[in-house]
């Protein structure tokens, strides 16, 4: 059973009661991520996520973790391009403790200057670790070429020089601007008493005051055409290809999910069967969706021997064109409706996954879609919807690409998939500097 309401201070609440469980997941999601940053403070949202756990007037950093872990619960957070979420999962008997700690870290964090300096070292090491991961480097490189100077192209972690430049004043100013009750949602899923929960929310979050009614507005973002190459001394060539996608909340996303299921999601997909199973060109290949506000991409990832790069791209480019031209059969259409319904339902089997889903939908769309409504949307996907998405997303082919590896003749790779496009060469970028 779903319920939504708003506290007097403007904080929106979405709840989903599941009586047969003995657990509860609580999350506070803020509509703020790397997309909401200026170039001068890129990475500050992620840094703030770290700092909220570094102590309050009431609790030490260790105490925050200890109080939840001592009752068998879990506490964590994440920062994405468009949102940051702080959450706890625990037995339902510890609902008040969960709300107490979440409100304490978000409303009473000390931001001690010594802790800020110490945490800079931690985040720098996180960036270093990311630089050691070809997939992470690839993702940042592809975002940069896909969105160019738009904030969506910024790395979530920021850069080492920027992280080192963060001060207590910058942090507090950013929080005052971006962290407001009007810009946030509390999502609770599991077993709880409605009246008790509302009283607890008012007790712990009712005093969250901010006169700033900040609400992000995103400019029209165009997907760029081009490519990026990052030289890295690794054995494999990592490739990321970008096609036109659909924005978050677009009704045609259900049709796109269905088509992506057939084309590149899973071991029975066209890409996996053709590129890996039939030709043995790679170990890993998949396509996936990245829907954002007002814009979206459909990405293809492959990790393979660099000697197979040209052949793999020829096959991928050919399969995209065939898929766009030939579409899908009636059998594929019906089978994959059932598959995405099953994937959707199985993906909501934990209270935390349901809590995240409810929080995101309510935060960005100010509404909740019940499971029944989503299933109905999937059942109602039409052949016209499929044709629309094929034309919109697959017909134009590959728009941009990124490559990570060594001794890569990326201009040859570009010539296969990107016609008359000037490559954006980042091979001279080394050390710890992010793209």
> Comparing C-alpha atoms, which of 220, 214, 239 is closest to residue 229?
239
User: pLDDT grade, residue 201 (50/70/90)?
Assistant: very high
Q: Tell me, what's the pLDDT at 433? A: 26
Kindly report, residue by residue over 98-120, the tens digit of the pLDDT.
999 999 999 999 999 999 999 99
Regarding beta strands 226-231 and 424-425, do their DSSP bridges make them parallel or antiparallel, or are they unpaired? parallel
User: pLDDT grade, residue 28 (50/70/90)?
Assistant: very high
How far is 194 from 191, CA to CA, in rounded Å? 9
> Which CATH code of 3.40.50.2000, 3.90.1170.40, 3.40.50.150, 3.30.830.10 fits the domain covering 2-205?
3.30.830.10
Task: Note whether 106 and 316 are within 8 A (CB).
Answer: no
Stretch 380-394: mean pLDDT, rounded?
97
How far is 83 from 63, CA to CA, in rounded Å? 26
Task: Note whether 30 and 82 are within 8 A (CB).
Answer: no
Question: Which residues are bridge partners to 404 per DSSP?
Answer: 230, 238
Task: Note whether 68 and 97 are within 8 A (CB).
Answer: yes
- Within the chain, all domains assigned CATH 3.30.830.10 are found at 2-205, 226-425
The H-assigned helical ranges of 206-349 are 253-263, 270-271, 309-326, 330-346
CB atoms within 10 A of CB 63: 15
User: First and final CA of the chain: distance in angstroms?
Assistant: 45
Buried/exposed code over 256-285 (b: 16+ C-beta within 10 A; e: otherwise):
bbbbbbbbbbbeebbbbebbbeeeebbeeb
How far is 294 from 379, CA to CA, in rounded Å? 25
How far is 244 from 177, CA to CA, in rounded Å? 33
Kindly report, residue by residue over 205-222, the tens digit of the pLDDT.
999 988 887 888 887 889
Q: Is 82 a catalytic residue?
A: no
Stretch 40-45: mean pLDDT, rounded?
98
Structure token digits, residue 200:
């607890």
**CA distances for 292 relative to 33, 40, 139, 295, 374, angstroms:** 12, 22, 15, 5, 19
User: pLDDT grade, residue 304 (50/70/90)?
Assistant: very high
Supply the mean pLDDT for the chain: 94
Kindly report, residue by residue over 351-370, the tens digit of the pLDDT.
999 999 999 999 999 999 89
User: pLDDT grade, residue 349 (50/70/90)?
Assistant: confident
Stretch 24-48: mean pLDDT, rounded?
97
How far is 260 from 241, CA to CA, in rounded Å? 14
Residue 425 pLDDT greater than 70, yes or no: no
Rg over CA atoms, the chain: 23
Residue 192 pLDDT greater than 60, yes or no: yes
Contacts of 173 (CB under 8 A, 6+ apart): none
How far is 304 from 285, CA to CA, in rounded Å? 9
Element (H, E) at 405: strand 400-405
Alpha carbon of residue 234 to chain centroid: 26
Active site residue: 19, 37, 40, 49, which one?
49
Residue 424 pLDDT greater than 70, yes or no: no
∠ CA(378), CA(383), CA(389), 5° rounding?
Answer: 80
How far is 223 from 241, CA to CA, in rounded Å? 12
Max CA distance (Å), the chain: 64
User: pLDDT grade, residue 423 (50/70/90)?
Assistant: very low
Kindly report, residue by residue over 308-328, the tens digit of the pLDDT.
999 999 999 999 999 999 999
- Name the CATH topology of 226-425: Cytochrome Bc1 Complex; Chain A, domain 1 (3.30.830)
């Amino acid at each position: 059973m779903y319920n939504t309401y708003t506290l007097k201070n403007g904080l929106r609440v979405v709840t989903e009661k599941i009586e047969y469980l003995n657990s509860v997941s609580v999350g506070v999601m803020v509509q703020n991520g790397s997309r909401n940053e200026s170039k001068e403070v890129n990475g500050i949202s992620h840094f703030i996520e770290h700092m909220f756990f570094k102590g309050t007037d009431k609790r030490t950093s260790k105490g925050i973790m200890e109080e939840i872990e001592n009752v068998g619960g879990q506490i964590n957070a994440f920062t994405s391009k468009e949102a940051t979420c702080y959450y706890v999962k625990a037995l339902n008997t510890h609902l008040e403790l969960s709300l107490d700690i979440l409100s304490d870290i978000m409303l009473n964090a000390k931001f001690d200057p010594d802790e800020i300096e110490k945490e800079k070292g931690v985040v720098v090491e996180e960036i270093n670790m990311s630089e050691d991961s070809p997939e992470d480097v690839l993702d940042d490189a592809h975002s940069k070429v896909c969105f160019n100077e738009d904030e969506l192209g910024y790395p979530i972690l920021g850069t080492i020089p920027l992280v080192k430049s963060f001060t207590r004043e910058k942090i507090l100013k950013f929080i005052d601007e971006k962290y407001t009750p009007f810009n946030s949602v509390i999502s609770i899923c599991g077993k709880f008493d409605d009246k008790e929960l509302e009283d607890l929310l008012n007790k712990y979050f009712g005093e969250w005051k901010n006169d700033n009614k900040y609400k992000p507005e995103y400019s029209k973002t165009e997907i760029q055409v081009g490519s990026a190459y990052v030289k890295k001394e690794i054995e494999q060539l990592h490739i990321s290809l970008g096609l036109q996608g659909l924005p978050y909340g677009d009704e045609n996303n259900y049709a796109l999910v269905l088509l992506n299921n057939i084309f590149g999601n899973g071991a029975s997909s066209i890409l996996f069967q053709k590129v890996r199973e039939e030709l043995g060109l790679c170990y890993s290949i998949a396509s996936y969706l990245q829907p954002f506000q007002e814009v979206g991409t459909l990405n293809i990832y492959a990790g393979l021997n660099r000697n197979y790069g040209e052949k793999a791209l020829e096959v991928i480019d050919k399969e995209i064109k065939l898929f766009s031209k030939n579409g899908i059969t009636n059998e594929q259409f019906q089978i994959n409706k059932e598959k995405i319904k099953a994937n959707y339902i199985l993906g909501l089997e934990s209270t935390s996954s349901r809590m995240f889903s409810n929080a995101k939908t309510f935060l960005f769309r100010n509404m909740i879609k019940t499971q029944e409504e989503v299933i109905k949307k999937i059942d109602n996907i039409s052949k016209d919807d499929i044709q629309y998405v094929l034309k919109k997303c697959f017909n134009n082919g590959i728009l941009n690409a990124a490559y990570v590896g060594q001794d890569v003749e990326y201009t040859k790779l570009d010539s296969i998939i990107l016609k008359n496009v000037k490559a954006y060469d980042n091979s001279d970028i080394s050390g710890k500097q992010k793209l």
